[in-house]
Structure 1
Amino acid sequence: MFYTIVHLSTVIVLFLSALTHYYWVLKPDAEPSSKVIPYIEGVPAFHASKLGTFLVASALLLVTLFVMELGAGIIGLLPTYILKIGGTLLAAVFIVRAIGDFRLVGFTKKIKDSTFAYYDTRYWSPLCALIGLSLLYITWGS
């Protein structure tokens, strides 16, 4: 039962994250928010292009489908060892994102006095850590 709750919750969070990124692609006045993009001295640290955001959204959608297969084996196209390796690698990606780059993002960020840093510390990094740990549980807990 707990496994099912963790699996379903992870799939929902990943899917909603993908939908949010697709929304940003379709949003006509797509000005990057300081809540989701790190700023350095009032300037975005990077430019979030429509194409880049679309690719992130599509990757998140593929990850969602992979996690559905990982936890429920609905389609059965991928062998177990691919699911285990993929699940472990995805967990590592999310955990590394949560840990951060020692500068702008993650728990180890040095720039801590921005709107992004506030949201990253309280929401984005813990969410990534939780997704990473959930993926490890989904991959190896059954």
Structure 2
Amino acid sequence: MNASVISALAALVGAAIGGLTSVLASWLTQRTQARAEWMAHDRIRRQDLYKEFIEEATRCYVDALQHHEPDLQNLVHLYARISRMRVQSSRAVALEAERIGGRILDTYLAPDRSFVELRQMLADGSLDILGPFSDACRAEFASLRAEQF
């Protein structure tokens, strides 16, 4: 073989490898950026859902402590959010949300609470039904952060 053919062939192979490397690096960078954006969007979506759930659950729980007759519209919104969590969230978060929904329904069946009873519940910690839910959400976000890196 002629030396000039070998040199031309080596130049072509080198250019092909360099181009392929550039395309591969670009593809990997784009894929990594797209995954990071998707995870950030997913995290924001979950945060919004959990915020809405906490607000709705609090509203329903306070209503249940004061009334026997349930506010069906608020309960429907609460259970819609629980259903969304079954789809979007970890199993631990969904189970805690379901537990809160059940506790709210049970509270409607219990006698109405007086202000003194509410103060006592606040003092002994039994008024806080959202603590385990918050812990499950925090653990879920920690695991999502770990997946990202």
Whichever structure has more helix as a proportion of its residues is 2
Q: Which has the higher contact order (CA 8 A, sep 6+)?
A: 1
Kindly name which structure, 1 or 2, has the bigger radius of gyration based on alpha carbons.
2
Task: Identify whether the pair has TM-score above 0.5, normalized to the shorter chain.
Answer: no
The TM-score, its normalising length taken from structure 2, stands at 0.32
